[in-house]
Amino acid sequence: MAEGDVRSTVVPAGRGVAISVRHGEIVRLTNTYGSQVVDLWALGGEDPAEHSSMDHTRSKNSNIFFKTGMTVYSSERRAMLTMVEDRAGLCHDTLLCPCNAAIYRELGCKGAHRSCTGNFHEALERVGHTCPFTPASLNVFMNVPVQMDGTVDRVPPASMPGDYVRLRAEMDLTLVLSACPQDVTPINGAERQVRDVHVDIAPAAPGGVA
Ligand SMILES: [Zn+2]
């Protein structure tokens, strides 16, 4: 691949991928069908023990949502990813946990069900990393309105087909994305149909400007 090429990949419906991203590169995450939530994590490229932290992200941004202009911070309070554009202007969720086996048991699923937690660890293992626990995820496109009394709701994504967000890497990192396999509740749309999402990674802009 020539220097300067855009690298494109698909996160298959219900699956996870881990991608190496260099400082300054721009990750465009496209909600191809409009209805898919994507759980996102980042691990430091130099030190994979440094991980994206929703605690520090909310604290540094002084906000419980994630919106354009905000940055994902690490467990060391360092900048990892900044959302430089959101075509739909959404409030992305930072509060709810990534889905896991226990949630699907609660929902009455018999036997194994894929989960964002499983996807996180599976994707990391494919690129030679492990993580001894599951950090909280940034839930891109996940629509979790918060009421004045603190009540959280869970409703289908407000995005339309082709809506995208663009995130600038503020350090070298391993990006982990999970096209959430939740097909019991309508969090991935009223049809409860899990779908692919598309990822394009563009080279750093000259001068580092997105
Ligand atoms: Zn999930």
Per-residue pLDDT at 7 exceeds 80 = yes
Q: What is the pLDDT of residues 77-89, one digit of tens each?
A: 999 999 999 999 9
CA 24 to centroid of ligand 1, rounded, Å: 28
Distance CA 55, CA 208 (A): 27
Per-residue pLDDT at 70 exceeds 70 = yes
CA 3 to centroid of ligand 1, rounded, Å: 34
In 10 A of CB 147, how many CB atoms? 8
pLDDT at 3: 57
pLDDT at 88: 93
CA 180 to centroid of ligand 1, rounded, Å: 4
pLDDT at 61: 98
Distance CA 111, CA 180 (A): 18
pLDDT at 137: 98
- Candidates 164, 131, 127, 171; CA nearest to 17 is 127
Q: What is the pLDDT of residues 127-161, one digit of tens each?
A: 999 999 999 999 999 999 999 999 999 999 999 99
DSSP per residue, 142-189: -B--B-TTS-B--B-----TTEEEEEEESS-EEEEEEE----SSGGG-
In 10 A of CB 210, how many CB atoms? 14
Per-residue pLDDT at 208 exceeds 70 = no
CA 96 to centroid of ligand 1, rounded, Å: 10
Q: Identify residue 154 by its one-letter amino acid code.
A: R
Distance CA 51, CA 70 (A): 17
Distance CA 38, CA 194 (A): 11
Per-residue pLDDT at 210 exceeds 70 = no
Distance CA 6, CA 35 (A): 25
Per-residue pLDDT at 209 exceeds 80 = no
Q: Using the 8-state DSSP alphabet, how is residue 207 labeled?
A: G
CA 45 to centroid of ligand 1, rounded, Å: 24
CA 27 to centroid of ligand 1, rounded, Å: 20
In 10 A of CB 60, how many CB atoms? 16
Q: Which residues pair with 79 in a beta bridge?
A: 73
Confidence tier at 205 by pLDDT (50, 70, 90): confident
**Cα within 13 Å of Cα(180), Cβ side:** 32
CA 100 to centroid of ligand 1, rounded, Å: 7
CA 209 to centroid of ligand 1, rounded, Å: 33
